[in-house]
Amino acid sequence: MTSPQGRLRPEHPHSRRVADLADAFALVTAGGAGVPDDLETTGVTVASGDVLPGDVFVAVPGARTHGAAHTAQAVASGAVAVVTDAAGAAVVAGIPEAAHLPVLLVEDPRGVAGHLAAWLHDHPGRRVTTVGVTGTNGKTTTTYFVEAALRRAHEKTVVMGTVELRIGDEAIESPRTTVEAPVVQSILAAGLERGATAAVMEVSSHALALGRMNGLEVGVAGFTNLQRDHLDFHGDMEGYFQAKAQLFRAGHAQRAVVVVDDAWGRRLAEEAEVPVDTVATHVGAPEAATADWAVTEADIGLDGVGSSFVLRGPDGTEHRAASPLPGLVNVSNAALAVVLAHRAGVPLADAIDAVATAHEIPGRMERVIERRPAPDERPLCLVDYAHTPDALVLALEAVRPITPGRLVIVFGSDGDRDQGKRPIMGAIAARLADVLVVTDENPRSEDPASIRAAILSGVREERPDLADVHEATSRTQAIHDALDLATETDTIIITGKGHEPTQEIAGVFHRYNDRDVLRAADADRTARAHEQQGQHA
Ligand SMILES: CC(=O)N[C@H]1[C@@H](OP(=O)(O)OP(=O)(O)OC[C@H]2O[C@@H](n3ccc(=O)[nH]c3=O)[C@H](O)[C@@H]2O)O[C@H](CO)[C@@H](O)[C@@H]1O[C@H](C)C(=O)N[C@@H](C)C(=O)N[C@H](CCC(=O)O)C(=O)O
Ligand SMILES: Nc1ncnc2c1ncn2[C@@H]1O[C@H](COP(=O)(O)OP(=O)(O)OP(=O)(O)O)[C@@H](O)[C@H]1O
């Protein structure tokens, strides 16, 4: 079966000789067998399940398996050659289906994969305007803000991120925040083929640590912030910072825009190897005096939801701007996006105008049910992706000012991920929300009840009597419970899963989406109300 990513490959890919690829990267063949002179390739992949006929299969050693062990599947799908390390070549030598294939040796197959793909597709990243956004929180929101601005100057754009992979209006679900390096290159190549002239992408720390950006030098790199997350992978904050910092080295970006609200951003701006625009987004903070760009005023509550703000530019000129989404964090994201898009060539006024009206960002403070008075009587219901302690604080603080009644939160915490944050998240919710419904997020291989217990231990620190604290053993039930508990003056915020289309429980991905469940629960209540009215009539 072809991976859906195949749909975002170029329809008419460059065809290049495998011998030229070997020459270009000084690759030697394992065991002395040569590369047939007329052997051509049209694609590169690191995943055997994604191979299309004509691909070079780059077999990468991983934490779980060596890609080389999956060469038979790659061959069956039409791989024409294998690039791998010595250990991989030894594995391939034992696979009869691969006996006819040239095997090219390289020390670091994962590191070279993006460069091979960039070479094959003739460096598509050099022929489109590119923006990459990294940081713990705000990547998705900022990316969509930037895309809205880029669209003022480019008819067709490419978006790659957590929510989707999209060329113009053609989108597929994204398997992760940043796809493998050869996929980045083939999507850019497909974008160019279909007339896209600009691309904006989210860049995760995993991507930087695992070479997924190799082969691409983005035009402008953006940094939002660095907060506790992914310590299971990076070990400590220093390791996490160093991974992010790679995007700001020569060869990875031409220039950068860095939010300097936190100490990590200030350090990054100092250590970056490329020209940097600094942006201070906290009104009155000391950084505002020295940053190139600064938010000098911000008012929450524009249209009852978003915020208006003033952005001072490097020449001292003040620009009136706005964020369409609630909370000061989105002022931060909007300010960063405006400067990123401007540095990527969009006139400043157009960038400001476009960002101010970029409402639709899936699962990011998404307004799913509007506040409605009786007879319907519904609370305002938001779906938000906050899944780190800092993001949770900011999300709850953003929603408090637009909540006349009680703040109701439905939340959980991921299984098989940083365990330390569970009680911290519980304590934050207990402190900043009024009513808590503790439930599951993606339990993965863990026992869901023990994850909830860890969250509840943090809740108890703040609220020993567990008043207004509920536990629901399914997320769907939790959402129904929240709707039962809330009245029209309350706000329900469902955090942690955002746009996610599935819930992973015990190794199985179930179709699940907070927004859809919320809408169904809302429709269910409406139907029940009508039924009751019918009975009373
Ligand atoms: C920690 C991490 O990122 N691991 C990635 C890493 O896994 P790994 O080194 O263990 O690789 P492996 O599974 O042993 O496989 C080795 C090689 O064999 C290949 N293979 C494997 C099986 C097979 O049948 N056929 C095949 O070809 C794989 O494609 C791979 O190239 O390399 C694999 C492919 O090369 C990735 O699939 C895998 O991402 C896993 C799925 C993952 O969950 N990554 C997450 C943590 C991630 O990257 N998240 C960030 C966002 C984080 C955030 O901000 O929230 C992201 O960018 O999405
Ligand atoms: N600039 C910011 N600073 C802190 N928190 C933020 C910021 N922007 C957004 N958030 C919070 O973090 C959550 C995630 O936002 P968003 O999806 O834009 O970030 P992300 O970096 O893409 O996260 P992920 O990589 O986990 O998808 C939001 O729902 C919001 O609550």
Domain shared by 161 and 241, yes or no: yes
Instruction: Tell me how far apart the alpha carbons of residues 407 and 77 are, in angstroms, rounded to a whole number.
Output: 53
Give pLDDT, residue 1: 35
Give pLDDT, residue 3: 55
Question: How many percent of the chain have pLDDT more than 90?
Answer: 83
Local structure of 7: helix, strand or coil? helix
For residue 234, which of 226, 220, 415 has the smallest C-alpha distance? Answer: 226
Domain shared by 97 and 143, yes or no: no
Domain shared by 127 and 112, yes or no: no
Q: Confirm whether 209 is domain-assigned.
A: yes
For residue 464, which of 433, 428, 430, 425 has the smallest C-alpha distance? Answer: 430
CATH code of residue 503: 3.90.190.20
Residue of 206, 214, 509 to test ligand 1 pocket, by largest number of atoms within 8 Å of CB: 206
For residue 43, which of 97, 98, 80, 2 has the smallest C-alpha distance? Answer: 80
**ipTM, interface predicted TM-score of the complex:** 0.95
Q: Is the pLDDT of residue 351 over 60?
A: yes
Q: Confirm whether 536 is domain-assigned.
A: no
Question: CA 427: distance to chain centroid?
Answer: 26
- Cβ neighbours of residue 534 closer than 8 Å, sequence gap 6 or more: none
Domain shared by 154 and 105, yes or no: no
Residue having the nearest C-alpha atom to atom 38 of ligand 1? 62
Residue that is last in its domain, among 356, 389, 411: 356
Reported as a pLDDT band with limits 50, 70 and 90, residue 471 is very high
Local structure of 65: helix, strand or coil? coil
Instruction: Tell me how far apart the alpha carbons of residues 522 and 493 are, in angstroms, rounded to a whole number.
Output: 14
Element (H, E) at 505: strand 502-505
For ligand 1, say whether the CB of 450 is within 6 Å of any of its atoms.
no
Given a contact cutoff of 8 angstroms between Cβ atoms, the answer to whether 427 and 462 are in contact is: yes
Give pLDDT, residue 2: 40
Average pLDDT, the chain: 94
Q: What is the mean pLDDT of residues 209-230?
A: 92
Residue 97's identity, in one-letter code, is: E
- Cβ neighbours of residue 448 closer than 8 Å, sequence gap 6 or more: 415, 440, 473, 505
For residue 4, which of 190, 201, 208 has the smallest C-alpha distance? Answer: 190
- Minimum mean pLDDT among 22-36, 267-281, 393-407: which range? 22-36
List the domain range (segments joined by +) for residue 405.
Answer: 366-529
Instruction: Tell me how far apart the alpha carbons of residues 56 and 35 are, in angstroms, rounded to a whole number.
Output: 12
Please state whether beta strands 293-302 and 306-312 pair in parallel, antiparallel, or not at all (unpaired): antiparallel
Domain shared by 168 and 297, yes or no: yes
Ligand 1 atom showing the smallest separation from residue 57 Cα: 27
- pTM score of the predicted model: 0.87
Domain shared by 344 and 403, yes or no: no
Domain shared by 379 and 309, yes or no: no
Residue having the nearest C-alpha atom to atom 41 of ligand 1? 176
For ligand 1, say whether the CB of 65 is within 6 Å of any of its atoms.
yes
Q: Confirm whether 327 is domain-assigned.
A: yes
Q: How many domains does the chain have?
A: 3
CATH code of residue 302: 3.40.1190.10
Instruction: Tell me how far apart the alpha carbons of residues 82 and 59 are, in angstroms, rounded to a whole number.
Output: 7
